[in-house]
């Protein structure tokens, strides 16, 4: 489908003699033509941002919609507005299907005084835009059906309800239903599911609460052992993606598509204090795009399950994806996109630590007042009780380490020379990151 869009965009570019971009009705970039101009004005801040981040900000969207593009049935000329980061005028071709706008094709207009595309060329371009509208409508309709069936598989109870949901999804997927798939969890995810995700067979939003038990839709924030409490994601929904794979080796490149989802979620949450999308047109060329790393810093992470062959395995795969997303939020070194196979002890702890840790031995240690002692104990246990390694990792003298460990034993009543006491404390510290 992506190739079809690109071919049609290139056809419009050839008809009108200008590079074109195609966005859906939510201003998400779908395809764009090549730029062969040395003119800096051909890539103004708004156009650059759209291509690099594959989306436009809420303010940019509002500004363009102010010219009536959502109601127009023919080309709309929009003048330049340097103060908004739009250095060149635009020609917008509304992409419609049966009267409903599906997206927009954008072209840079000629500078004032120079002849632009004539009526015949614009009419021909609109005919191509209508063909794009058919494709977008068909994709949206198919995606909606798959979203419903995919969500049913992930949320159905065990037994005959789940069997029926799996059967319905298999019918919806057709011949690809028996292929290799991997489940992905991105959380938190505000708003609706994206119209399309590269390599995805189905996408849906799972409205589950965080930490409500196995299968909860996203990560906790950690309370005692991390660098500090992160954004509160309790009650946030998660985005579920069903990746279609040719082989198990194909999972690695698919992760790049997953990473590109994180900035979308981070920007939509408005956690940078500017609201959804931040300051739009006024941001100019210097406006920094949200990266996967900064998205993770804002509390947005993703988990990827092991590939499965057979749709009946999807509920278990979704649990793996949720656990990996929670682990990525709990332990930054695992993220921002964590694979279930690589999260180590969190594979078990994610299913056990649905509620805040309240073991009597660890209760006092996990209070904010003892954050540094908790971190010291965790690093010591991560280093298999080797004092030299732990002191080096913490950047402290070995005697300081011994003093802190003595305080840990006093607060917990545990003996760190005993294996079972070490195991209990280690599990409590790791589980606290998840809740």
For residue 83, tell me if it sits in a domain: yes
pTM above 0.85, yes or no: no
Q: Does 209 lie in the same domain as 324?
A: yes
Domain of residue 343, residue span: 178-352
The answer to whether the beta carbons of residues 200 and 190 sit under 8 Å apart is no
For residue 165, tell me if it sits in a domain: no
CATH of the domain at 421: 1.10.10.2840
Cα–Cα distance measured from residue 143 to residue 121, given in angstroms and rounded to the nearest whole number:
33
The answer to whether the beta carbons of residues 164 and 131 sit under 8 Å apart is no
Which secondary-structure segment (H or E) carries 338? strand 337-339
Q: Where are the alpha helices (DSSP H) in 201-342?
A: 251-259, 261-269, 292-297, 314-330
Q: How many CB atoms lie within 10 A of CB 1?
A: 12
- Count Cβ neighbours within 10 Å for each residue of 79-104 and write b for 16 or more, e otherwise: ebbeebbbbbbbbbbbbbbeeebbbb
Q: Does 385 lie in the same domain as 334?
A: no
The answer to whether the beta carbons of residues 4 and 31 sit under 8 Å apart is no
pLDDT of 130 > 90? The answer is yes
Q: Does 325 lie in the same domain as 376?
A: no
Q: Does 250 lie in the same domain as 135?
A: no
- Count Cβ neighbours within 10 Å for each residue of 134-157 and write b for 16 or more, e otherwise: ebbbebbeebeebbebbbbbbbbe
| Chain center to CA of 296 | 10
For residue 269, tell me if it sits in a domain: yes
Boundary residue ending a domain (352, 385, 408): 352
Cα–Cα distance measured from residue 243 to residue 181, given in angstroms and rounded to the nearest whole number:
5
Q: How confident is the model at residue 72 (pLDDT cuts 50, 70, 90)?
A: very high
Report pLDDT digits (tens) over 220-250: 333 333 333 333 334 478 999 999 888 877 7
Report pLDDT digits (tens) over 293-336: 777 677 889 999 999 988 999 999 999 999 999 888 888 888 78
Locate 400 and state its tokens: 């300081």
Q: How confident is the model at residue 73 (pLDDT cuts 50, 70, 90)?
A: very high
Boundary residue ending a domain (324, 352, 380): 352
């Amino acid at each position: 489908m992506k190739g079809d869009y690109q071919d049609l965009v290139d056809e419009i570019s050839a008809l009108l003699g200008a590079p074109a971009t195609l966005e859906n009705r939510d201003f998400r970039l779908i395809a764009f033509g090549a730029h062969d101009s040395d003119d800096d004005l051909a890539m103004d801040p708004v156009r650059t941002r759209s291509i690099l981040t594959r989306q436009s900000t809420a303010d940019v969207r509002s500004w363009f919609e102010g010219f009536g593009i959502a109601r127009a049935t023919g080309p709309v000329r929009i003048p330049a507005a340097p103060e908004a980061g739009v250095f060149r005028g635009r020609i917008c071709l509304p992409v419609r299907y049966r009267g409903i706008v599906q997206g927009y094709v954008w072209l840079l207009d000629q500078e004032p005084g120079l002849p632009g595309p004539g009526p015949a060329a614009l009419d021909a371009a609109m005919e191509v835009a209508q063909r794009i509208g058919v494709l977008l409508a068909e994709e949206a309709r198919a995606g909606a059906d798959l979203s419903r069936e995919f969500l049913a598989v992930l949320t159905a109870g065990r037994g005959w309800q789940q069997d029926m949901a799996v059967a319905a999804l298999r019918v919806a997927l057709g011949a690809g239903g028996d292929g290799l798939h991997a489940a992905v969890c991105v959380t938190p995810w505000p708003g609706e599911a994206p119209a399309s995700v590269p390599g995805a067979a189905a996408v849906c939003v799972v409205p589950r609460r965080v930490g409500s038990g196995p299968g909860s839709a996203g990560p906790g924030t950690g309370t005692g052992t991390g660098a500090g409490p992160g954004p509160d994601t309790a009650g946030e929904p998660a985005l579920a993606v069903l990746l279609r794979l040719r082989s198990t080796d194909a999972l690695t490149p698919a992760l790049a598509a997953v990473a590109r989802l994180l900035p979308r979620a981070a920007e939509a949450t408005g956690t940078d204090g500017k609201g959804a999308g931040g300051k739009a047109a006024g941001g100019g060329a210097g406006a920094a795009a949200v990266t996967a790393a900064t998205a993770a810093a804002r509390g947005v992470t993703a988990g990827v399950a092991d590939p499965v062959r057979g749709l009946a395995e999807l509920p278990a795969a979704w649990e793996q994806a949720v656990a990996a997303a929670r682990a990525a939020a709990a332990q930054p070194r695992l993220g921002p996109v964590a694979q279930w196979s690589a999260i180590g002890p969190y594979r078990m702890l994610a299913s056990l630590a649905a509620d805040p840790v309240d073991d009597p031995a660890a209760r006092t240690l996990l209070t904010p007042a003892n954050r540094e002692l908790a971190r010291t104990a965790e690093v010591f246990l991560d280093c298999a009780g080797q004092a030299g390694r732990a002191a080096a990792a913490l950047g402290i003298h070995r005697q300081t380490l011994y003093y802190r460990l003595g305080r840990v034993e006093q607060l917990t009543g545990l003996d760190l020379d005993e294996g079972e006491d070490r195991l209990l404390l280690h599990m409590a510290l790791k589980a606290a990151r998840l809740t």
